[in-house]
Amino acid sequence: MSDEDIVEIARRAYEAGTRRPKPDLATVNVLYHPDHELVTPLSRLEGTSYRGAAGFREWVTSRPEDWDSMTFRLDDARAIDESRVLLATTFTGHSRRGGVPVVQEQGLVVTVRDGKITRTEAYNSVDEASSAAS
């Protein structure tokens, strides 16, 4: 696959998975490998990850409990190498616990194999994601 192909797959998957008010699960099912692994900053600290469709559903359904509102924006997408894409994103949310608005830059390293996303690693910044991918 070309760099453009893997970037487009990662872009479409991110937008489908973060669509609000609910994710576009039909597109998610087409673009993500059934054994996809999601590693978030918190799960990395805990030594865990979210696996497959059940893991994705767990992650997606647990997020709204913490937020009155949340949006995800894709700011940039570029190929790192023949199978990985770096996504620069921004999360905006309004916390339920203290009413605090949050704007958080995030970086994701997305691995694409055979046209499917097999792994997504989320980081607290694009620089952190870029360093981890090196």
| Segments making up each domain of the chain, as ranges | 3-133
Q: How far is it, in rounded angstroms, from Cα 9 to Cα 116?
A: 8
Residue 25's Cβ-count burial label (10 Å; 0-12, 13-18, 19+) is middle
pLDDT at 121 over 70: yes
User: In which residue are the tokens 């937020």 written?
Assistant: 67
Write out pLDDT tens, residues 77-111: 999 999 999 999 999 988 877 778 889 999 999 99
Burial of 116 (0-12, 13-18, 19+ CB in 10 A): middle
Query: What is the distance between the alpha carbons of residues 96 and 131, in angstroms, rounded to a whole number?
Result: 32
Query: What distances in angstroms separate CA 50 from CA 102, 127, 130, one per listed residue?
Result: 24, 23, 21
Q: Are 76 and 87 in contact (CB under 8 A)?
A: yes
Q: What is the model's pLDDT at position 67?
A: 74
Of the pLDDT bands very low, low, confident and very high (cuts 50, 70, 90), residue 127 is very high
Residue range 35-67, pLDDT digits in tens? 999 999 988 998 989 998 778 777 766 665 677
| CATH fold group of domain 3-133 | Nuclear Transport Factor 2; Chain: A, (3.10.450)
Are the beta carbons of 6 and 85 closer than 8 angstroms?
A: yes
pLDDT in tens, 4-31: 999 999 999 999 988 988 889 899 889 9
Mean pLDDT along residues 102-128: 96
CB 104 within 8 A of CB 90: yes
How much of the chain exceeds pLDDT 90, in percent? Answer: 63
